[in-house]
Amino acid sequence: MLNTQIIMEQMRYHPIVATISIGVSTVLASEVIWKVVQYFRSKRERANRVHEVVVFNELGEICAAQHLRSTRPGSQEPKVSHCWNTHCTLRNVGKIAEQIDRAVYSIDLAIYTFSSFLLADALKRALQRDVSIRIISDGEMVYSSGSQTTVLARLGVPVRVPITTYMMHNKFCVIDGVERVEEIRLLRKRKWMRPCYSIVVSGSVNWTRQGLGGNWENCIITADEKLTAMFQAEFNRMWKAFEKTGESLIQHK
């Protein structure tokens, strides 16, 4: 009680000290509240982040005729929201496209062969949002018929392939990898970047019609921080390695 009275007397006769004390207390209290809000927001966001296994099998195409009938006139994308087939190929491909559509800064794709129009369209939308895209592909398959990798290269996407008799057989995609986003921040000379979180899509499936709609395949879509960091590190390693031992596709805008 005596200490309180002393403090009150000091504040009474020293208004400047009182003002500073109140200001400091307010700032500290605000900082604590903001940290608490950030903690619970981050916790909620982590809980809502995707961790999913997507399986492709022989049942994925049994609803294809229904989707063709439900396609809107003038649109190439059929409706899949009310499909009864739990193995629906279009819905599963849509799960990958959804993550591409969420990309804020970067997409790094290492893919053996790529001919899916739906996923190529998602990457084109990302380009329109000024998302940085890089592709590593196989030196032989990149020139195969229907390759969407060469289509994207003509739109300005940098593509590298290894010059070797071995196959570049990876099938993974890193979206907004922490290391890559930081690299983009430095290149663009920004002090800060908009909030985003990393996603990796990886599995056995090639991004082709047969891979996505005929074969028995799988892919994992996850926001696990350790996994995304490891995949990003491997992509960066290959990207640098193929700069010296590989070749880049000629780009035509």
Query: Do residues 153 and 233 share a domain?
Result: yes
Query: Do residues 10 and 71 share a domain?
Result: no
Query: Do residues 23 and 66 share a domain?
Result: no
Query: Do residues 101 and 153 share a domain?
Result: yes
Render 186-230 in DSSP notation, one character per residue.
Answer: HHTT-S-------EEEEES--BSHHHHHTS-EEEEEE--HHHHHH
SS3 (DSSP) at 248: strand
Query: Do residues 214 and 194 share a domain?
Result: yes
Query: Do residues 163 and 188 share a domain?
Result: yes
Query: Do residues 181 and 207 share a domain?
Result: yes
E-state strands within 120-207: 132-137, 159-162, 171-175, 199-203
Task: Tell me which of 171, 240, 252, 253 is the catalytic residue.
Answer: 171
> Which residues 6+ apart lie within 8 Å of 139 measured at CB?
161, 162, 163, 164, 168, 246, 247
Task: Tell me which of 67, 108, 138, 176 is the catalytic residue.
Answer: 176
Task: Tell me which of 101, 169, 240, 253 is the catalytic residue.
Answer: 169
Task: With residue 111 as reference, give the H or E element that holds it.
Answer: strand 106-111
Query: Do residues 54 and 157 share a domain?
Result: yes
Q: How far is CA 221 from the centre of its chain?
A: 10
Query: Do residues 64 and 173 share a domain?
Result: yes
Angle between helices 89-101 and 117-128 (to 10 degrees): 20
SS3 (DSSP) at 112: coil
State the CATH number of the domain containing residue 223. 3.30.870.10
Q: What is the pLDDT of residue 84?
A: 87
Query: Do residues 110 and 131 share a domain?
Result: yes
**Cα dihedral: 86, 87, 90, 91 (round 10):** 40
The answer to whether 171 is a known catalytic residue is yes
Domain count, the chain: 2
Q: What is the pLDDT of residue 94?
A: 95
> From CA 131, how far away is CA 172, in angstroms rounded?
18
Per-residue pLDDT of the chain (253 residues; tens, 9 = 90+): 555 565 556 556 556 655 666 666 666 666 666 565 555 455 455 555 889 999 999 999 898 877 876 655 555 566 666 788 989 999 999 999 999 999 999 999 999 999 999 999 999 999 999 999 999 999 999 988 899 999 999 999 999 999 888 999 999 999 999 999 999 999 999 988 888 999 999 999 999 999 998 899 999 999 999 999 999 999 999 999 998 766 666 554 3
The answer to whether 138 is a known catalytic residue is no
Q: Which residue range forms the structural domain that includes residue 21?
A: 1-42
Query: Do residues 196 and 243 share a domain?
Result: yes
**Number of C-beta neighbours around residue 103 at 10 A:** 22
SS3 (DSSP) at 136: strand
Query: Do residues 234 and 189 share a domain?
Result: yes
> From CA 134, how far away is CA 210, in angstroms rounded?
24
